Amino acid sequence: MGKLDVTLCGITLDNPIIPASGTFGFGYEFAELYDINCLGTFSFKGTTKDARFGNPTPRIAECTAGMINAVGLQNPGVERVISEELPKLKKCFNKPVMANISGFSVEDYAYTCEKLDKEDQVGWLEVNVSCPNVHGGGMSFGTSPEAAAEVTRAVKAVTTKPVIIKLSPNVTDIVAIAKACEEAGADGISLINTMLGMRIDLKTRKPVIANKMGGFSGSAIFPVAVRMVYQVAHAVKIPVIGMGGVSSAEDVIEMMLAGATAVEIGAANLIDPFACRDIINDLPRVMAKYNIDNLSDIIGGVK
Amino acid symbol at 292: I
Rg (CA), the chain: 18
The DSSP secondary-structure symbol of 31 reads H
C-alpha span between 44 and 85 (Å, rounded)? 10
Residue 183 has pLDDT above 80, yes or no: yes
**pLDDT level of residue 163 (50, 70, 90 thresholds):** very high
Task: Output the average pLDDT for the chain.
Answer: 95
Residue 131 has pLDDT above 70, yes or no: yes
Residue 257 has pLDDT above 70, yes or no: yes
Model pLDDT, residue 1: 72
**pLDDT level of residue 144 (50, 70, 90 thresholds):** very high
**pLDDT level of residue 132 (50, 70, 90 thresholds):** low
φ, ψ for residue 287, nearest 5 deg: -60, -45
Q: Catalytic annotation on 63?
A: no
**Using an 8 Å Cβ cutoff, are 167 and 129 in contact?**
yes
Model-level pTM greater than 0.75? yes
Cα 30–chain centre separation: 17
Domains of the chain with bracketed CATH = 6-298 (3.20.20.70)
pLDDT, tens digit, 9 for 90 and up, residues 47-63: 999 999 988 999 999 99
Catalytic-labelled residue, pool 9, 131, 181, 276: 131
pLDDT, tens digit, 9 for 90 and up, residues 262-282: 999 999 999 999 999 999 999
Model pLDDT, residue 139: 65
φ, ψ for residue 278, nearest 5 deg: -70, -35
Model pLDDT, residue 54: 87
Q: Report the percent of the chain where pLDDT is more than 90.
A: 93
**pLDDT level of residue 175 (50, 70, 90 thresholds):** very high
| Residue 257 host element (H or E) | helix 249-258
pLDDT, tens digit, 9 for 90 and up, residues 205-237: 999 999 999 999 999 999 999 999 999 999 999
**pLDDT level of residue 200 (50, 70, 90 thresholds):** very high
